[in-house]
Amino acid sequence: MPCTTLLVGKKATNDGSTMISRTDDGFFDVKKTIVVKPGKDNKYKSVIGHLEIELPKNPMRYTACPSVDPKHGVWAATGINECNVGMTATETTTSNPRVLGADPYVVYQEKKSKKDKDIPGGIGEEDIVVLVLPYIHSAREGVLRLGELLEKYGTYESNGIAFNDEDEVWWLETIGGHHWMARRVDDDEYVIMPNQFGLDRFDLDDAFGAKKANLCSKDLREFIKDNNLDLNINGEFNPRLVFGSDSDSDHVYNTPRAWFMARYFNRNSYKWDGDNADYTPESNNIPWSMKPDRKITIEDVKYVLSSYYQGTKYNPYQKAQYPEKGIYRPIGISRTGVTSICQIRSNVPDSIKGIEWITYGSNAFNTCLPIYANVDKLPAYIADTKLDVDSNTFYWGSRLIGALADSNYGTSIQFIERYQNKTMNEARRLLKEYDAKMLKQNDNKLLLEANQKICDMVKKETIDTLGKVLHDASVHMKNGYSRADN
């Protein structure tokens, strides 16, 4: 699924937390945010791959953002489990014919006659969170469990998956049908992933030795050598050259997003615009990870994941008629279902370490709603989304605001900015208030109360903003007329 991922190490954030975030850019998928409690099922059956997998015992509770319509499977997207491990899956990535010819995807094959049997496919985005998040106690464990599943069952698509706990952030990328590699994000760096194979550095010696910051499938060295995959020279090893793509479409769909994100976080470190720029929107060598010019906040992550190239000639909403206007794929695209930021904090008790920041719809026009993840139930405002349009739910309220504001950007953007500022200010205040209460009482009932208060506040402001952009859209309807009836 086309998405955009941003990861931040604990020394690169303003509060020492780790953050993993991703826009889940489906096709206007209707989403909700729920708590999944441990069940008794010991087998999992996928819809797309028609694959049955036996599950480990003793699963944990976790949050998830599944699709409301289950016809294509769960698609849990993202969440935080009761051990304060976060996960987001998946970022659709790219590959090349050399890799896929050597290790093809594992695709479901329906039987051709009554005598035959169906051949199951591998695992994919539909399944990965459900198969991994309830069973892991650290980010590293997440990599190892998923790696084992990939080697055993294979996958039918190319994906990137992120994990975080209070100390570490890990990024795993699949390679062909059964191979994979993963790297620990340096504490003082952030990572940008715009639908391409991302890793541009990897220590194979560490992966097959101490395994401190690099992990991979057991035969990756042989796989590279036997299939003549290594395009590197001078002794360097850049996995992006070996396993990734280098296509014309990357330059309008993928690399511009990496450019905007890096340009935002490292505006003073490099030249991003004009003649002799270090990197342009169509550069293939924009680094996978960088040290930011300053510490990164939740608000920064939300802003970057809302980008439509504001402040550049590529902005589709600007009045100026640049030839380049709207030529690149935005980050805050119209069809986003859900975006989450899994934030794991280290300077607070275990009960309040995990905060999940949720948005629905196009990030350009929505706001961020934080929830304490260590709860047994979430408010109906985010958990009870239905397929029918209902402005009393956060998902549909966000979608309606985005569709109306997009059509009248010049006059509606002021309402959006006020809405985003007001809700984020109040959400921050409520988190601080309930953090302090939990430090004194450590009563999980307070977390239920806090989540409800945050949702009630955001609901009030969402309905108010919806009314404003609806009125603005009504005023600008094309069948209006200047002459009144009186």
Decide if 65 is catalytic: no
Q: Which residue has the tokens 């220590």?
A: 203
Report the C-alpha gap between 372 and 352 in whole angstroms.
6
**120-142 burial by CB neighbour count: b if 16+ within 10 A, else e?**
bbbbbbbbbbbbbbbbbebbbbb
Q: Are 382 and 348 in contact (CB under 8 A)?
A: no
Bridge partners of residue 357, in order along the sequence: 341, 370
The sign of the dihedral angle between the CA atoms of 165, 167, 168, 169 is positive
CB atoms inside a 10 Å sphere around CB 362: 26
According to DSSP, the residues that pair with 425 across neighbouring strands are none
Range list of H helices, 106-232: 128-132, 139-153, 204-207, 220-226
| DSSP string of 13-53, one letter each residue | BSSS-EEEEEEE-SSS--B--EEE---S--EEE-SSS--EE
- Among residues 3, 342, 368, 455, the one annotated as catalytic is 3
Backbone angles phi, psi at 414, to 5 degrees: -65, -40
Q: Which residues are catalytic?
A: 3
